[in-house]
Amino acid sequence: MKRLRHHFGSLEDKREQKRSKTVPLGNLREDVMYYTTIQMGTPPQYIDVQLDTGSSDLWVYTTECPTCKPTSPLPTNDGTAQYFNKTRTSTLLITTTPVNITYGGGDAVAGVLATETVALGGISVPDQTFIYVNSQQGTKGGPGLMGLGWTANTVTNATPWWLNAIDQFEAPEFSFLFAQSNGTNNGNPSAGGQFTIGGRNQSVYTGDLSFVPTVSEKYWDVPFSQIVVSPSLTLPIVNSTVNVIDSGTTLLYGPPADVEAFYGGVEGAVKGELVSNTSLGGMWLIPCNTAVNAEFVFGNASVTWPAAAVHMPATAAWIYNNVPGGLNTTYCVGGLATPNFSSTAISFWVFGDAFLKGVYTIFRKGTDGEHPSIGFAKLKGVDYTGNGSLILGYNGNGVDGTIGRTGPNAVVIDGRANSTDETSESTAGSEQPPPSDSTENGGASNPTTPM
């Protein structure tokens, strides 16, 4: 009956469901972290949070946390707060139940369970469970994190915000466009793209969407079989245990042997550990003008990683000169690395922002017998065959967005900016997924999947 009601319900029922909503993303420290602003409490307090598909819980720093000092502080002059203040809301319920989360790399937050009204883009969820943080250790990034994963991956055993909100929309999906830093903001926050809930923005991608069913309903993970680096180099992926699409991680991470084999196909590639006085363990350096792109095969879908995304942006935070054993050219940090937080070789892949900048990505819940899936599409204007630029300095409304060239200073997102209701160009989508079948750069966040 649920399917019949969904497809053949009254006009009144259909009007109750919303079109998609889009909010701008901010880009922090030149592609290290992407964030947006949520509203918490009554009256609302504006808190900047990282949107993380690699985890599922919501947590925020509070004024009762003396150790909460973000290593990447966000601006406070745009109407947002660094910390949530319990004395300024009438709808907060705090429990005495302790909870803590440890992420890959040892970053951790601890606090107690609480509930509060939480909104994003004008979409409000009352009594949303979150972690009221009163202690943190080494957490890189801003003052909060909103997990966009599944309930099975929560530490709190609570339904994630997006699952509580998604039934308000016609399309049970959310999508991302990540924009690369244009390098003109000296490490300050800049426009970083857009997040859409309840649909997708058809105006920013081109061609067919390729949907890949997820392997589980614990992670946003996909089957991964091979990488084609060039016509003469194909790398089979045979021992990977899990392959997570993770918006909360800076780089793309893989097993050491696979990563080294990949860079074997990139002319002039050098191990980062050979550069003295840096913390580049697990990373590689490649010429910034490299023209190498790659194809990642997920299930039956082949997804191109364009050359411009294979390395981090050619900005002061990510470039090196006079690289030992390298070519006589400027080097950039490669977007693919091996985590250096573990003494044993990993057997999994984490596809972070370095990968996601090169593709439009849709995360679909799956309803009425459909399996959850992830859709990939090529971005409009991006050169997928040569060494063209990615989308630069793009916010939720396209302001200051440029493709294929470096634009003027990107606009720092206003945490109080209104979200946009999507037009006919940004729709709930008609394509259906298939059936179930820190140095300066070393500030890169480690995989955010809880350990």
Would you say 201 and 423 are in contact if contact means Cβ atoms under 8 Å apart? Answer: no
**Active centre residues (catalytic):** 52, 246
243 shares a domain with 120: no
Identity of the residue numbered 147: G
Strand ranges (E), 57-120:
58-61, 93-102, 108-120
Euclidean distance between CA atoms 144 and 287, whole angstroms: 35
Helices (H) and strands (E) in the chain, counts: 6, 28
Report CA Rg, the chain: 21
pLDDT in tens, the chain (451 residues): 333 333 333 333 444 567 899 999 988 888 999 999 999 999 999 999 999 999 999 999 999 998 887 655 566 656 666 799 999 999 999 999 999 998 877 788 999 999 999 999 999 999 999 999 999 987 656 789 999 999 999 999 999 999 999 999 999 999 999 998 877 666 677 889 999 999 999 999 999 999 999 999 899 999 999 999 877 789 998 777 789 999 999 999 999 999 999 999 898 999 998 887 778 889 999 998 888 889 999 999 999 999 889 989 878 788 898 888 888 889 999 999 998 766 567 889 999 999 999 999 999 998 888 899 999 999 998 888 876 678 877 765 544 444 332 333 333 333 333 455 543 333 333 344 333 333 334 455 555 655 4
390 shares a domain with 346: yes
Residue 44 falls within a domain, yes or no?
yes
Other Cβ atoms closer than 10 A to 177: 27
359 shares a domain with 217: yes
229 shares a domain with 161: no
356 shares a domain with 223: yes
136 shares a domain with 87: yes
CATH number at residue 120: 2.40.70.10
290 shares a domain with 145: no
- Considering 399, 423, 443, which residue would you say is the last residue of a domain? 399
Torsion over CA: 401, 387, 375, 282 (sign)? negative
Please name which of 267, 269, 193, 283 lies closest in space to residue 230, comparing C-alpha atoms: 267
Domain limits at 124?
Answer: 25-168
Residue 326 falls within a domain, yes or no?
yes
pTM of the model: 0.86
153 shares a domain with 55: yes
Q: Which two tokens stand for residue 152?
A: 């099975």
367 shares a domain with 220: yes
158 shares a domain with 93: yes
Query: What are the φ/ψ torsions at residue 259 (nearest 5 degrees)?
Result: -65, -45
Number of domains in the chain: 2
